[in-house]
Amino acid sequence: MSVNQLVQFLVIADEYRNAEEVVAELQKLFSLYRFEYYGIVRQPKPNENPMSLVLMGHWPERWPETYITKKFVLIDPTIRYLGQAQKGFRWSDTLGFFKNDPHRKRMERMMMESVRFGLQDGYIFPVHGRTGLLGNMTVGGKPVDLSPVEITLFDAVAKKAFWRLLELRKQVDDVMEATKVDTRMTRREMEVLNYLADGMTSNDISKVLNISNHTVDWYMNGIQDKLRAKNRQHVVALAFRLGLIT
**Residue at 26 is within a domain:** yes
Note down the domain range covering 103: 4-178
Q: pTM of the entire structure?
A: 0.72
What pLDDT, on the 0 to 100 scale, is given for residue 119?
97
102/213 same-domain check: no
**Of 178, 202, 218, which closes a domain?**
178
In a domain, 192, yes or no: yes
Highest mean pLDDT among 50-64, 129-143, 201-215, 232-246: 201-215
Determine how many CB atoms are found less than 10 A away from the CB of residue 30. Answer: 20
How large is the average pLDDT for residues 111-121? 97
CATH number reported for the structural domain that contains residue 219 in this entry: 1.10.10.10
pLDDT digits (tens, 9 = 90+) for 117-147: 999 999 999 998 766 788 999 999 999 999 9
pLDDT for 9: 95
Cα 21 off chain centre by: 25
Same domain, 99 and 62: yes
- 199 & 171 share domain: no
| pLDDT-based confidence at residue 46 (cuts at 50, 70, 90) | very low
Q: Which pLDDT score, from 0 to 100, does residue 131 have?
A: 61
**Which ranges constitute the DSSP H helices of the chain?**
4-12, 19-32, 63-69, 77-82, 104-116, 148-168, 172-178, 187-197, 202-209, 213-227, 232-241
Residue 95 is which amino acid?
L
Q: Do residues 195 and 168 share a domain?
A: no
Tell me whether residue 41 is in a domain: yes
Looking at the structure, tell me whether residues 159 and 233 fall in a common domain: no
Mean of the pLDDT values across residues 69-77? 87
Domain assignment present for residue 37? The answer is yes
Residues 44 and 132 in one domain: yes
Is the pLDDT assigned to residue 51 strictly greater than 80? no
Identity (one letter) of the amino acid at 125? F
Same domain, 93 and 167: yes
Query: Are residue 107 and residue 9 in the same domain, yes or no?
Result: yes
Question: Are 149 and 222 in a shared domain?
Answer: no
Residues 218 and 119 both lie in one domain: no
Q: Is residue 82 part of a domain?
A: yes
Q: CA neighbours within 13 Å on the CB side: how many for 83?
A: 20
Mean pLDDT of the chain: 88
| HSE-CB for 201 with a 13 A CA cutoff | 3
Q: How confident is the model at residue 44 (pLDDT cuts 50, 70, 90)?
A: low
- Model confidence band, residue 182 (pLDDT cutoffs 50, 70, 90): low
Regarding whether 200 and 81 lie in a shared domain, the answer is: no
Predicted confidence at residue 229, as pLDDT, reads 81
Domain CATH for 14: 3.30.450.80
Which tops the pLDDT comparison, 131 or 200? 200
Domain boundary among 155, 178, 201: 178
Q: What is the total count of domains within the chain?
A: 2
In a domain, 246, yes or no: no
- Confirm whether 74 is domain-assigned: yes
Domain finish residue from 133, 151, 178? 178
Report the C-alpha gap between 129 and 156 in whole angstroms.
14
Q: Do 90 and 145 belong to one domain? A: yes
Is residue 88 in some structural domain? Answer: yes
102 phi, psi to nearest 5 deg: -65, -20
Residue 241's pLDDT is: 72
